[in-house]
Amino acid sequence: MNGYRIEPGANLTRAKLTDANLRGADLREAILVDASLVRADLDGAYLRGANLEGANLTDVNLTNANLKHANLQRANLRGANLERANLVDANLTRANLWGAKLKGANLKYAIMPDGSIRD
């Protein structure tokens, strides 16, 4: 995909993946720091332990995605669809969740944008 290797543990720092179709992709432990995933389709993607710090995830589809233990600090999730996503133990410190859809998302023990921990 655009010369990027989409695989577990991939280093995709600052990757431009706008409008990418990554449905069901296995990106566990991937490094996506400051990556652009605007409007990308990550329905059912496996992002357990991924580092998405500072990533632009505006209008991304993360329905049914596994983001357990993911680092989403400072990520822009404006308008993102996170319905039924697994965000257990995810770090959302200072993340922008304005207009994000979180219906059915599992946020147990997640660190929320204000620093509070969901239990």
pLDDT cut 70: percent of the chain above it = 97
- Residue 1: its pLDDT value, please? 60
Confidence of residue 84 (pLDDT cuts 50, 70, 90): very high
Q: pLDDT digits over 10-25, tens only?
A: 999 999 999 999 999 9
User: What domains appear along the chain, each with residue ranges and CATH number?
Assistant: 1-119 (2.160.20.80)
- Residue 49: its pLDDT value, please? 98
- Residue 5: its pLDDT value, please? 86
pLDDT at 119 over 80: no
pLDDT at 28 over 90: yes
Using CA atoms in the order 34, 79, 118, 12, what is the torsion angle rounded to 10 degrees? Answer: -20
pLDDT at 76 over 80: yes
For 98-117, the three-class secondary structure string (H helix, E strand, C coil) is CCCECCCCECCCCECCCCCE
